[in-house]
DNA sequence: ACCTGAACACCGTTCAAGT
DNA sequence: ACCTGAACACCGTTCAAGT
């Protein structure tokens, strides 16, 4: 009855594969992502995937590029700092939806959406009138912050829910003796006041305002 | 002749395993690292490794911690910015020796050497007299920069030697049309002047001097 | 206490065959 | 043009057996 020609069977296609892969990685982490698992999820054989994707590496590149495409591009207006701040905050939100992405971001070839995104950031810095050297360094500083800060945050979140009990009990006590500053920092993390404040934005402003000041 | 009791056969031990694993990852990348490859390198059976290491995850944690131990701790003196700058520069150098490390750093449980390192950075910031909120944020900013910047740099280096021809030829030409700012940035990267300048230190100073200024 | 081979339940990917 | 099962060369890890 439900033959292959049935309209109920959606065609495969690269887009549908990447979306399934992203959904799986969002839920289970990228280290659990498997060609076979994606195939199962899509209800097809493993090898069918290879009609639309050269290999797993290309798939990961495609996945990262879709995430890059979800980020709102910074607007080109007279408030370059505000524009970058808004876009970075959005990127931060998107990356926290796809916790596997930051670790993949820097290490893989950029796809078209990511190149588009990089270009937009550079355009804002250039159009702001910053001198070339500051456009160059400012770009590195801003993108490093978006990926690096979020990666660190995700790492912290993962360590947290991996073993919160050991951390809060044995860990913090043993820490206090040998590493008092570390213990104090962990205590600050566990406090509500610190989590409430916009750490991501605060550090980004350190960078943006530093750039503006140097540029006279 | 060469029996098991021969003194020529070094005992295994966790340290020797981790060193072999690090040497292999330095040379071939962490994605090529395999329990079997380490065993081959050490001239023992795969399962012998499991007498000293619980599993691959614990091995990676141990590898990262050895790298953390190679970093010179920042000194506690009256020049907190200079002290952090020197330590960060050293960390940068160490991480470039172990290009697989930055991607592992944030995502895995910190070992004792890394905790010692984190504590030292926090101590310098605290002893500098910065207010608690700035110690908290400054720590995140500095560590994010060390790992994030280096990770981005390593990604760039890998993309570079992966296909430098495609990049310089087809890539840059196609880029110039749709993404002029990106093309300009790539051109700046390929110029000698930019690589000569200490980008890592420049962006770090943006952060350190920002912290000092806010602290009045 | 330390070592180890065989075996298990997986991987990504090639290949040859189907429609 | 698209799909697919069987097969291959690997993985990490368990287990039972050795010393």
B198 and chain A in contact, CB less than 8 A? no
Residues B103 and B139 in one domain: yes
To the nearest whole Å, the CA of A123 is away from the closest chain B CA by 6
To the nearest whole Å, the CA of B16 is away from the closest chain A CA by 27
Is the Cβ atom of A37 within 7 Å of strand C at any atom? yes
Looking at every residue in chain B, the average pLDDT score rounds to 91
B2 within a domain of the structure (yes/no): no
Q: Give A56 CA → C15 C1' in Å.
A: 19
A204 and chain B in contact, CB less than 8 A? no
pLDDT at A119: 97
| pLDDT tens-digit profile, chain A (216 residues) | 333 333 345 778 999 999 999 999 999 999 999 999 999 999 999 999 999 999 999 999 999 999 999 999 999 999 999 999 999 999 999 999 999 999 999 999 999 999 999 999 999 999 999 999 999 999 999 999 999 999 999 999 998 877 666 666 677 788 888 999 999 999 898 886 666 789 999 999 999 999 999 987
B54, B75, B103 — which closes off a domain?
Answer: B54
Most B CBs within 10 Å, among A119, A153, A161, to test the B interface: A119
Distance CA A186, CA A200 (A): 17
A62 within a domain of the structure (yes/no): no
Q: Give B154 CA → C8 C1' in Å.
A: 38
Distance CA B169, CA B173 (A): 6
Please tell me the pTM assigned to this model.
0.93
pLDDT at B175: 81
CATH of the domain at A73: 1.10.357.10
For residue B112, the number of C-alpha atoms closer than 13 Å in the C-beta half-sphere is: 2
**Residue B59 near residue B53 (C-beta atoms within 8 A):** yes
Residues B103 and B27 in one domain: no
Residues B43 and B104 in one domain: no
**B125-157: pLDDT as tens digits:** 999 999 999 999 999 999 999 999 999 999 999
Residues A46 and A119 in one domain: no
**B48-99: pLDDT as tens digits:** 999 999 999 999 999 999 999 999 999 999 999 999 999 999 999 999 999 9
CATH of the domain at A47: 1.10.10.60
Task: Look at residue A109 and give its three-state secondary structure.
Answer: coil
Helix-helix angle A180-190:B132-162, to 10 degrees: 90
Q: How many Cβ atoms are within 10 Å of B137's Cβ, its own excluded? A: 21
A133 within a domain of the structure (yes/no): yes
B115 within a domain of the structure (yes/no): yes
Residues A46 and A87 in one domain: no
**B89-135: pLDDT as tens digits:** 999 999 999 999 999 999 999 999 999 999 999 999 999 999 999 99
Distance CA B56, CA B53 (A): 8
pLDDT at B11 > cutoff 80: no
Residues B18 and B99 in one domain: no
Q: Structural domain of residue A123, as residue ranges?
A: 67-215
pLDDT at A41: 96
Residues A23 and A93 in one domain: no
List CB contacts (< 8 A) between A156 and chain B.
106
Residues B167 and B203 in one domain: yes
B100 within a domain of the structure (yes/no): yes
Nearest nucleotide to the CA of B34, by C1', is: D11
Q: Report the domain count for chain A.
A: 2
A40 within a domain of the structure (yes/no): yes
B28 within a domain of the structure (yes/no): yes
pLDDT at A84: 98
Most A CBs within 10 Å, among B104, B185, B208, B211, to test the A interface: B185
Residues A91 and A18 in one domain: no
Residue A197: DSSP 8-state? S
A188 and chain B in contact, CB less than 8 A? yes
Residues B44 and B130 in one domain: no
**Residue B102 near residue B151 (C-beta atoms within 8 A):** yes
A50 and chain B in contact, CB less than 8 A? no
pLDDT at B2: 33
Nearest-by-Cβ selection for B210 from A115, A151, A210: A210
Residues A32 and A125 in one domain: no
**A151 and B151 in contact by Cβ < 8 A?**
yes
Residues B122 and B184 in one domain: yes
A2 within a domain of the structure (yes/no): no
């Amino acid at each position: 009855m439900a033959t292959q020609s049935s309209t109920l069977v959606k065609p495969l296609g690269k887009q549908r594969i990447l979306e399934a892969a992203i959904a799986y990685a969002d839920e289970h982490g990228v280290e659990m992502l498997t060609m076979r698992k994606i195939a199962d999820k899509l209800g097809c054989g493993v090898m069918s995937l290879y009609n639309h994707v050269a290999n797993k590496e290309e798939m990961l590149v495609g996945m990262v590029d879709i995430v890059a495409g979800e980020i709102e591009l910074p607007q080109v207006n007279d408030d370059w700092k505000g524009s970058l701040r808004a876009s970075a905050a959005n990127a931060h939100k998107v990356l926290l939806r796809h916790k596997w992405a930051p670790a993949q971001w820097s290490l893989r070839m950029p796809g078209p959406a990511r190149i588009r995104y990089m270009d937009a950031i550079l355009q804002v810095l250039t159009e702001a009138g910053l001198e070339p050297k500051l456009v160059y360094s400012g770009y590195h500083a801003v993108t490093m912050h978006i990926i690096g800060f979020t990666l660190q945050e995700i790492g912290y979140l993962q360590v947290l829910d991996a073993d919160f009990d050991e951390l809060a009990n044995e860990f913090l006590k043993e820490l206090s003796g040998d590493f008092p500053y570390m213990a104090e920092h962990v205590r600050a993390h566990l406090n509500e006041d610190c989590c409430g404040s916009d750490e991501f934005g605060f550090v980004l402003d350190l960078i943006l305002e530093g750039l503006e000041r140097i540029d006279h």
